[in-house]
């Protein structure tokens, strides 16, 4: 319970926001409104939205404006992503989304402390700046991007840190999918507590 009501005029840097189909993870296939926040200090060299790394040049929009845009669409599922969304205080954004009846999902590297009230937390940790404990322990879904063989050891390290109920996913890095997907298939067959996540939105050619 919040002690004070957040200011709906508080602003966040928005790289883009769009209505689409969730393409990854357990919730793939669902209609969702994506809010991509600008700013990231993790810096994956294979990132496909490097333009989200800097906050400069992206508009600062009030929570009210963000909410008004989300309400223009049919789905009541919002996915907050980045960049690295937890670089920002998301308490107010979640509060007003929840008040409007939205389910709140976040996709994060976990490199910053958790803020906001979330219905689903996708933790996608990166070697470049590892996740903090308060995000790890509440993750609903662990999604590890596989770029090379060493990422399987990295995935198993985090498997030992998340809760026993956390869903375990391995996802090929898109540019190396032909190379790493066979390795993922083999790994999952021998470690059946893991599942495969594919970027289905890229197959469908949608955002």
pLDDT one-digit tens code per residue, 169-190: 999 999 999 999 999 999 999 9
Q: What is the mean pLDDT of the chain?
A: 94
Q: What is the pTM of this model?
A: 0.94
Contacts of 127 (CB under 8 A, 6+ apart): 154
Q: Is the link from the previous residue into 83 a cis peptide, with omega within 30 of 0? A: yes
Domain range spanning residue 107? 11-203
Q: What is the mean pLDDT of residues 60-76?
A: 98
Number of domains in the chain: 1
Residue 138 lies in a domain: yes
State the CATH number of the domain containing residue 168: 3.20.20.70
Q: Is residue 6 part of a domain?
A: no
Q: Flag whether 20 is in a domain.
A: yes
Q: For residue 5, is it within any domain?
A: no
More confident residue, 2 or 193: 193
End-to-end CA distance of the chain: 35
- Residue 46: pLDDT over 70: no
Q: Is residue 2 part of a domain?
A: no
pLDDT for position 41: 84
Coil, helix or strand at residue 165: coil
Q: What is the reported pLDDT for 1?
A: 65
186: Cα within 13 Å, side-chain hemisphere: 7
Q: How many helices (H) and strands (E) does the chain have?
A: 6, 9
Q: Is residue 1 part of a domain?
A: no
Residue 80 lies in a domain: yes
Kindly report, residue by residue over 103-124, the tens digit of the pLDDT: 999 999 999 999 999 999 999 9
Q: For residue 134, is it within any domain? A: yes
**pLDDT band, residue 48 (cuts 50/70/90):** low
């Amino acid at each position: 319970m919040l002690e004070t009501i957040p200011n709906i005029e508080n602003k966040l840097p928005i790289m883009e926001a769009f209505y689409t189909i969730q393409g990854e993870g357990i919730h793939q296939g669902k209609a969702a409104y994506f809010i991509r926040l600008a700013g990231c200090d993790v810096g994956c060299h294979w990132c496909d939205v490097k333009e989200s790394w800097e906050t400069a040049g992206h508009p600062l929009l009030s929570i009210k404006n963000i909410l008004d845009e989300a309400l223009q669409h049919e789905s009541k599922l919002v996915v907050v992503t980045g960049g690295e969304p937890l670089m920002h205080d998301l308490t107010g954004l979640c509060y007003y989304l929840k008040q409007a009846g939205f389910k709140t999902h976040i996709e994060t590297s976990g490199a910053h402390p958790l803020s906001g009230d979330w219905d689903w937390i996708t933790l996608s940790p990166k070697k470049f700046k590892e996740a903090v404990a308060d995000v790890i322990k509440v993750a609903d879904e662990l999604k590890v991007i596989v770029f090379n063989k060493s990422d399987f050891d990295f995935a198993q390290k985090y498997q030992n840190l998340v809760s026993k109920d956390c869903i375990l996913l391995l996802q090929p890095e898109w540019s190396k999918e032909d190379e790493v997907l066979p390795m993922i298939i083999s790994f999952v067959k021998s470690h059946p507590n893991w599942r495969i996540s594919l970027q289905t939105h890229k197959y469908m050619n949608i955002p």
